[in-house]
Structure 1
Amino acid sequence: MIPALALYGIEKRFGSTRILRGVDLAIQPGERHALIGPNGAGKSTLFNLIAGGARPNAGRIDLFGAEITRLAPAAITRRGLARSFQSTSVFTRLSVFDNLRCAAMLAERDRTRWWQRFSGSPTVDARAAQVLDAVGLTERRHVQAGTLSYAEQRALDLGIALAGGAHTLLLDEPTAGMNRAEAARTIELIRETTAGRTLLMVEHDMDAVFAIADRISVLVQGRIIASGTPAAIRADETVRAAYLGEGFGT
């Protein structure tokens, strides 16, 4: 089976500092994969390379078998990969629904008359309404996105990725800054809305990681030191010593 996302020998340097040191990773279609590791391990840098925000010094990145290593972010998005950031990236002055309509337009192949489709397209509106319900924001449909709570804005962020038709999602710390109740709702939302899609997420909350991920990879000092099921990662002595801590899970 061709991996949904595959990294081969990815290296990244900033000046003389090596951030990533030959990262190999293969994520299968429909798999929900978590990337964990201590601060400074290179997780955000790796995300940025995958999404096209920067280029590696060496290595190759494939999306469903097609190389995307040197494509611009917009070109990668058009191929079906969407990224959320640690801070929300919604259009704060647009309504919640219009944020989703903007994203839904990207899923339309004919973009020559985008302004007409935005002003009244049944297809766009139906897609936006479906996602609006999926992320639990139907009652907030007409409010400005900038007035949403932080957790609601993160839900809208996820909705924007879904409405754009992405089959592969990169989620950067989706529960960061949330209280336990908000994080629990977000975890359930991610589980429900990403079913059947490929997911790679960076997350420090181990409850979220073990609740969502099918597989986990551990990045330490620019190298993946382990990759496996949540049970295997939890039991791995190398991982416990390097990141999770000797007392984790006891």
Structure 2
Amino acid sequence: MTAALAVQRVHKSFGATEVLRGVDLSIEPGERHALIGPNGAGKSTLFNLIAGGGRPSAGRIELFGVDITRLGPAAVNRRGLARSFQNTSVFAGLSVFDNLRCAALFAERGRGSRWRRWTHARAASTRAEQVLDAVGLGARAQVLAGTLSYAEQRALDLGLALAGGAHTLLLDEPTAGMNRAEAARAIELIRSATAGRTLLMVEHDMDAVFGLADRISVLVEGRVIATGTPAAIRSHAAVRAAYLGDGFER
């Protein structure tokens, strides 16, 4: 089976500073995969490279077997990969519905000839309505996005990726800044809304990681030191020493 996302021997240096040192990562279609590690390990840099926000110094990145190593963010997005950021990226002055409709229209705009614009606009509106319910914002459709709570804005961020039709999602700390109850609700929302899609998530909340991920990779000093199921990562001696700590189970 072709991997949904394959990172092959990726290096990234900024001047004399080597941030990524030969990262290998393979994520299967439909898999929920978490990337964890201490601050400064290179997680955000790797996310940026996968999403087209930079170029590796060496190595290759593939999306369902297609080389995307040198594509920019818009080209990567059109191939079905969407990224959320640690800070919300919604259009504050537009309604929730119009935010989602914009994302759907962007996905539709390259399909067909100009005379089909009206059909595409209608399809985008239908798609936005479907995503509203999927991310639990149906009752907030006409509210300005800038007035939503932080947790609701993160749900809208997820909705923007879904409205664009992405089959592969990169979520950067989706529960950051949330209390325990909000984080638990966010994880359940991600679980239900992304069913059938491929997910790569960077997250520091270990309850979220171990409650959602099918597999986990641990990045330390620019290298993946372990990949495995949550149970395997919990008991991995090198992971405990580098990141989780011996008291993690307690």
Fold similarity call, TM over 0.5? yes
Taking structure 1 as reference, are residues 125 and 218 closer, same or farther at Cα in structure 2, changes over 3 Å only? same
Equivalent residue for 1:196?
196
Equivalent residue for 1:217?
217
Equivalent residue for 2:169?
169
Deviation at 1:122, TM superposition (A): 2.8
Q: Say if 2:43 is the partner of 1:43.
A: yes
Q: Which amino acid aligns with 1:171?
A: L
SS at match of 2:175: coil
Q: Which amino acid aligns with 1:96?
A: V
SS at match of 2:9: strand
Q: Which amino acid aligns with 2:45?
A: T
Equivalent residue for 2:130?
130
Distance in 1 separating the partners of 2:124 and 2:168 = 20
Equivalent residue for 1:110?
111
Counterpart mapping for 1:83-98 below 5 A:
83-98=83-98
Taking structure 1 as reference, are residues 195 and 114 closer, same or farther at Cα in structure 2, changes over 3 Å only? farther
Deviation at 1:68, TM superposition (A): 0.1
Equivalent residue for 1:71?
71
| TM-score (ref. length: structure 1) | 0.96
Deviation at 1:105, TM superposition (A): 1.4
Instruction: Check whether the contact 1:105–1:114 (CA below 8 A) recurs between aligned residues.
Output: no
Distance in 2 separating the partners of 1:249 and 1:117 = 56
Deviation at 1:9, TM superposition (A): 0.5
Distance in 2 separating the partners of 1:115 and 1:197 = 28
Gaps of 5+ in 2: none
Q: Deviations over 1:142-163 (max 9, x none)?
A: 0111111110000000000001
Gaps of 5+ in 1: none
Instruction: Check whether the contact 1:117–1:124 (CA below 8 A) recurs between aligned residues.
Output: no
Instruction: Check whether the contact 1:106–1:165 (CA below 8 A) recurs between aligned residues.
Output: no
Taking structure 1 as reference, are residues 133 and 230 closer, same or farther at Cα in structure 2, changes over 3 Å only? same
Equivalent residue for 1:6?
6
Equivalent residue for 1:147?
147
Q: Deviations over 1:29-79 (max 9, x none)?
A: 000000000000000000000001000000000000000000011000000
Distance in 2 separating the partners of 1:229 and 1:181 = 25
Instruction: Check whether the contact 2:170–2:199 (CA below 8 A) recurs between aligned residues.
Output: yes
Distance in 1 separating the partners of 2:74 and 2:20 = 24
Instruction: Check whether the contact 2:20–2:222 (CA below 8 A) recurs between aligned residues.
Output: yes
Equivalent residue for 2:34?
34
Distance in 1 separating the partners of 2:201 and 2:111 = 31
| TM-score (ref. length: structure 2) | 0.96
Distance in 1 separating the partners of 2:99 and 2:114 = 18
Q: Say if 2:174 is the partner of 1:207.
A: no
SS at match of 1:204: coil
Instruction: Check whether the contact 1:83–1:170 (CA below 8 A) recurs between aligned residues.
Output: yes
Across the two proteins, how many residue pairs are aligned to each other? 249
Equivalent residue for 2:53?
53
Instruction: Check whether the contact 1:86–1:172 (CA below 8 A) recurs between aligned residues.
Output: yes
Deviation at 1:111, TM superposition (A): 6.7
Taking structure 1 as reference, are residues 23 and 136 closer, same or farther at Cα in structure 2, changes over 3 Å only? same
Q: Which amino acid aligns with 2:236?
A: D
SS at match of 2:211: helix
